[in-house]
Amino acid sequence: MTLNKKKSISRVEELKLADGDDLARAKVLWHEWGKPVVIAVALGFASIGGFNYWQHYQAQNSESASLLYEQVLNSEDADSAREDLEMLKNEHSSLAYSQLAAMLMARLLIEENRITEAATELRWAVEQSNDEQITHIARLRLSAVMLSVGEYDEVLGLVAGVDKDVFQSRYQELLGDAYALRNQNADMELAREAYQASLDAENDYFNRQEFVRAKLDNL
């Protein structure tokens, strides 16, 4: 039990390190380049044509939703962002800005070690999004959060059977993590298969092959 707790803490720290400085960079980019680039950076889409993708969305989102999203983006902490996020959810739940804001809120909550609340925001984004790529990003982040608190079966449920699209490599890595940490029956062999599938994936937009190979070698 103590071992799992230690792994859980390190996983939270890994998650914070992976996402921690995006919000600060987004605040700067907002003023320099505008919303499409900011959203691409906030979601990690910059390397997969996010700029063009979000130009398409810019035309569809209302001005009020845009302003509310900007206020969430510029919030210093989760509590100060809450009112604007709730307005987005209540008034613009079908728009991409609301799901993006929920993911930004999740990041703020993780920084404050409010993991359960962060998971709630990410679940909402997964359930509400009508866009496949937003859904994938929210599901990946939710899976990482649940992995950090030892909910390995939930991670397997979130990841297994999903049409993984261009996110195949990251999904398979999380699948391997869940099996390796759960470590029941044939889990270690399943972890090896998942890590190998991650390495074999055609697309690795998260540039994590070095980490995945190290995990595979250490099984």
**Residue 199: what residue type?**
L
The 10s digit of each residue's pLDDT in 92-117 is 888 888 999 999 999 999 989 999 99
Q: Taking the CA of residue 47 as centre, how many other CA atoms within 13 Å lie in the half-sphere pointing to its CB? A: 8
The string over 74-113, giving b where at least 16 C-beta atoms fall within 10 Å of a residue's C-beta and e elsewhere, is ebeebeebeebbebbbeebeebbbbbbbbbbbbbbbbbee
The 10s digit of each residue's pLDDT in 113-165 is 999 999 999 999 999 998 888 899 899 999 999 999 999 999 999 998 787 77
At residue 116, φ and ψ (nearest 5 deg) are -60, -45
At residue 190, the pLDDT reads 96
Query: How many other β-carbons are positioned within 10 Å of the β-carbon of residue 131?
Result: 13
The 10s digit of each residue's pLDDT in 15-59 is 443 444 444 444 443 444 444 444 444 444 444 444 455 555 555
CA 58, 128, 76, 144 dihedral sign is negative
CA 209, 36, 127, 147 dihedral sign is positive
Specify whether the CB–CB gap between 40 and 51 falls below 8 A: yes
pLDDT category, 82, cuts 50, 70, 90?
Answer: very high
